[in-house]
Amino acid sequence: MEPSQPIPPDALVLTSSTVPPDSVFRSINFPFAVSARPISTIPNLSYSKQFKLTRCEFCKAYLNPYIAFNSDRSAWNCSLCHRDNVITSPLSEADMGQIASPAYETAAPPDYILRAPVPPTYLFIIDVLSSA
Render pLDDT for 10-20 as a digit per residue (tens, 0 to 9): 677 777 777 77
Q: How many structural domains comprise the chain?
A: 1
**What pLDDT was estimated at residue 83?**
95
Hey, how many other C-beta atoms are within 10 angstroms of the C-beta on 121?
5
Residue 110 phi, psi (nearest 5)? -55, -35
> Is the per-residue pLDDT at 27 higher than 70?
yes
How far apart (Å, rounded) are the C-alpha atoms in residues 1 and 31?
33
Which pLDDT band holds residue 112 (cuts at 50, 70, 90)? Answer: low
**What pLDDT was estimated at residue 100?**
80
Sign of the CA dihedral with 108 first, then 79, 11, and 122 last:
positive
The answer to whether residue 116 sits within a structural domain is no
The answer to whether residue 82 sits within a structural domain is yes
The CATH code of the domain that includes 41 is 2.30.30
34-82 confidence digits (pLDDT tens)? 787 766 666 666 666 666 778 899 998 888 888 999 998 899 999 999 9
Give the range of the structural domain holding residue 68, as residue numbers without chain letter.
12-107
The answer to whether residue 130 sits within a structural domain is no
The answer to whether residue 113 sits within a structural domain is no
The answer to whether residue 70 sits within a structural domain is yes
The answer to whether residue 129 sits within a structural domain is no
The answer to whether residue 122 sits within a structural domain is no
8 Å CB contact between 55 and 106 = no
The answer to whether residue 42 sits within a structural domain is yes
